[in-house]
Amino acid sequence: MSDQSGGLYGVVLAGGTGTRLWPLSRAGHPKFLHPLTGTDASLLQATVQRLDLLAPLDRIFVVTGVAHAAAVSRQLDAIPDTNVLVEPSPRDSCAAIALAAAVIARRDPQAIMGSFASDHLISDKERFTEVIRKAMVGAQQGLLMTLGITPTRPETGYGYLQCGGEIGDGPVLGVEEFKEKPSYDVAESYVKSGNYLWNAGMFVWRVDAFLSELSRQQPQLAAGVSRIAAAWDSPEREEVLGEVWPTLPRISVDYAVMEGAATVGRVGTVPGDFGWNDVGDFHTLGEVLAADPSGNVVVGHALEPEAKSGVLLRDTEGLVVVPTPGRLVAAMGVRDLIIVDTPDAVLVCPRERAQEVKHLVDELKELGEHDYV
């Protein structure tokens, strides 16, 4: 048992761009750094704040890439320097999570760790905290716990968890299979059946249980991460990271570990219902933030009054408007549009086409307009 049993180590993955949130989210200033939370906190900061009833700040780790290490460190200025884990290059989620697990295991071999995306919104923090505590009970028993969201619609943009009956000693359901993003009809049948949850990509486990499954299923990755962890507190850390990291396979933790663990009965879930939203696009963002009486959502408005970030709406309905400091967005006589203004680009499109914004990013890349991507 851990010397601090009952506590959680929180791992926040600060990676990914979020091209459907272009032009706000850019390769150089990705989604998680932006205040899309309805407060002045960035998604990254809100993710850490959400863990405050579960983990003290010295147990919060963040894994990020070289491009955003500085911005991430500054936004999370209350966590220790040593808890900022910088990947030399992107190697997908399994390597990132395994690195954090191995580093935490050096401090506390049976620590319970929770892994969280840095770019989701959760509206009910108390309920979230309760669900994590329940998941920790399953984790304590050696299960790899994944958080499942009770689906509210036949969403085709998420993966699903196929659940079985209760397992272990708590309110934990066994996860029989991980399902990839389904077609609409399949998603509808999932939702009707009541046996499927959205896979929200949040995990809770004992680090030893995870590292053991990693060794079983991904021995090369486990060995590499183990070498890196052994050198972590030595003068050789950078040398070893530089040598080993590029050799690690690029693979998501779902494919690499969770699917295989589910088939041998080692994955559990606690159905969650805490206002989860992946903030995948501006339409979704508009559904989760507070709207004015006409249904217009102004993201981050009045956060920086001194910066003169202004919005003037006249006879508009259902807009999602993202203004930028020092500039004015004026709209009149339009409805259900997304208007996103940034220091060097502005986007206008209907909310119903929010998912297609990523195609604009593809088009800009093809045109060689890398400054805007």
User: Interface residues with a second copy (CB under 8 A)?
Assistant: 23, 308, 310, 312, 314, 326-334, 337, 339, 341, 344-350, 353, 356-357, 359-360, 363-364, 367, 369, 371-372
Residue 229 CA to residue 351 CA, distance in Å, equals 46
Contact status, residue 253 vs residue 94, Cβ threshold 8 Å: yes
> CB-wise, 172 or 329, nearer to a second copy?
329
Distances 247 to 54, 102, 222, 255, 300 between C-alpha atoms, Å = 34, 17, 12, 18, 41
167: helix, strand or coil: strand
Q: How far is the CB of 235 from a second copy (least distance, A)?
A: 46
The residue (of 154 and 310) whose beta carbon lies closer to a second copy is 310
Q: Which is nearer to a second copy, 207 or 331 (CB)?
A: 331
Minimum distance between the CB of residue 345 and a second copy, rounded to whole angstroms? 4
In angstroms, the Cα distances linking 316 to 261, 309, 349, 351 are: 51, 19, 14, 14
Q: Which residues contact 114 (CB under 8 A, 6 or more apart)?
A: 8, 9, 10, 11, 51, 54, 55, 132, 135, 136, 202, 203, 204
Closest to a second copy by CB, 83 or 324: 324
Nearest-approach distance from CB 22 to a second copy, in angstroms: 8
Outline where 40-147 has alpha helix (H).
Answer: 43-49, 69-75, 92-107, 125-140
Tokens for 365, please give them: 């890349």
Question: What Rg value do the Cα atoms of the chain yield, rounded?
Answer: 21
Nearer Cβ to a second copy (233/356): 356
- The Cα-based distances of 315 to 289, 295, 335 in angstroms read 20, 11, 9
CA 34 remoteness from chain centre: 13
- Residue 257 burial by CB count (10 A; 0-12/13-18/19+): exposed, middle or buried? buried
Tokens of 190: 């999932």
Closest approach of Cβ 359 to a second copy, in Å?
Answer: 7
Residue (of 152, 170, 173, 171) closest to 162 by Cα position: 173
Peptide bond into 35 cis (omega under 30): no
Nearer to a second copy, 237 or 365 (CB): 365
Q: Name the residue nearer to a second copy (CB basis): 26 or 206.
A: 26
Q: How far, rounded to the nearest angstrom, does the alpha carbon of residue 362 sit from its chain's CA centroid?
A: 23
Q: Which residue bears the tokens 């989860």?
A: 276
**Of 78 and 328, which CB lies nearer to a second copy in the complex structure?**
328
For a second copy, give the closer residue by CB, 27 or 334.
Answer: 334
CB of 43 to a second copy, least distance (A): 23
Nearer to a second copy, 258 or 360 (CB): 360
- At its nearest, how many Å lie between a second copy and the CB of residue 290? 22
